[in-house]
Each structure stands twice: as structure tokens, then as C-alpha cells.
Amino acid sequence: MYDSGKIIIGIIIFIALFTFPTWYLFTSGEAAPMPDLVYPENEDQKECVYSAEYMRASHMDLLNEWRDIVVREGKRTFTTTAGKKFEMSMTNTCLGCHSNKAQFCDQCHNYLEVNPYCWDCHVDPSQLENQ
């Protein structure tokens, strides 16, 4: 092989740089910053429409379902298993409690690098106050 020294050194440098994020984490012992959620402090509404586990995994499915029921069927009231009634509205019901989108929704969305386009149209009321 011609120039084998240069090539092998080049490959070693490339692999070292390419795997930098992985071995840096292992050697430095610091974990990547975890999402830091701020939960709502709502005195009269302590429970969400479903359990936290369900919401964490499936809130996007629930929102899609609500969207179709409200827009397509014109029904707006959601009854929880405990019998409590809510308006099926992301801006008015979800953000009514989880009023800080930046400290709640965005935390995990940014961590997972997902970009839901809900906010292209639906309004974040806390954003309006800042304007």
C-alpha cells in the first residue's frame, strides 16, 4: 500500500473524531442534560384527563383524536374515566393547566428533536403575553 502511514493515521483520526460524542460521555462521566419539566401548580385541577404514563406516551394520539372529534363530529366535551368533563381544546384545556409551554412541551420535544407543527396555527397564550 502506498502512503500507508498517512492513510492509517488519517483513518485513526477520523474514527476518533467520529466517535467523540460517545467516548467523551463515557470518560467525562457527565450525562447529557435531561429534560427539566415544570409541572403546573393548579390547586383546583390536580389530575390530567388520563394518567401521566398514558399522557407521556400517547398525548399525540389523544390530541389527534380530539382534533378529529371536534372538527369532524362537532363534539367538544370529553369525559374522563372519573366522570370529569373537559373541553377538547389544546389551547384552552391543555395549556390552561400546562401554561408554560417552554418549560413543559418544549423540554421533551427539544430533547427528542421532534417538531410538532401544532403551534404553526394554535396559539400559545403565554407567548402572547410576552409580546
Partner 1 sequence: MDVTRRKLLKLAGLGALGLTAGKYAKVFANDAFTETTLSEIGTGKRWAMVVDVRKCLVKEDCRECINACHITHNVPNIGNTKDEIKWIWKEDFENVFSDQENHYLKENLKDKRIPIFCNHCDNPPCVRVCPTQATWKREEDGIVMMDWHRCIGCRYCIVACPYGSRSFNWQDPRPFIDNINSEFPTRSKGVVEKCTFCEKRLAEGKQPACVEACKEKALVFGNLNDQNSEVRKLLKENFSLRRKPGLGTEPEIYYLV
**Interacting residue ranges for partner 1, rule: CB under 8 A:** 67, 71-72, 74, 76, 91-92, 117, 120-125, 128
Q: Read off the C-alpha cell for 67.
A: 382534533
Provide CB contacts within 8 A for 62, sequence distance 6+. 49, 50, 55
User: Please, which residue, 47 or 68, has the CB nearer to partner 1?
Assistant: 68
* Closest CB 120 distance from partner 1, rounded Å: 4
User: Please, which residue, 2 or 117, has the CB nearer to partner 1?
Assistant: 117
User: Please, which residue, 5 or 74, has the CB nearer to partner 1?
Assistant: 74
Q: How far is CA 71 from CA 33, 85, 90, in A?
A: 38, 18, 13
Question: Is 87 within 8 Å of 78 (Cβ atoms)?
Answer: yes
User: Please, which residue, 42 or 92, has the CB nearer to partner 1?
Assistant: 92
* Closest CB 124 distance from partner 1, rounded Å: 8
Query: Measured between alpha carbons, how far is 52 from 45 in angstroms, rounded to an integer?
Result: 14
* Closest CB 94 distance from partner 1, rounded Å: 13
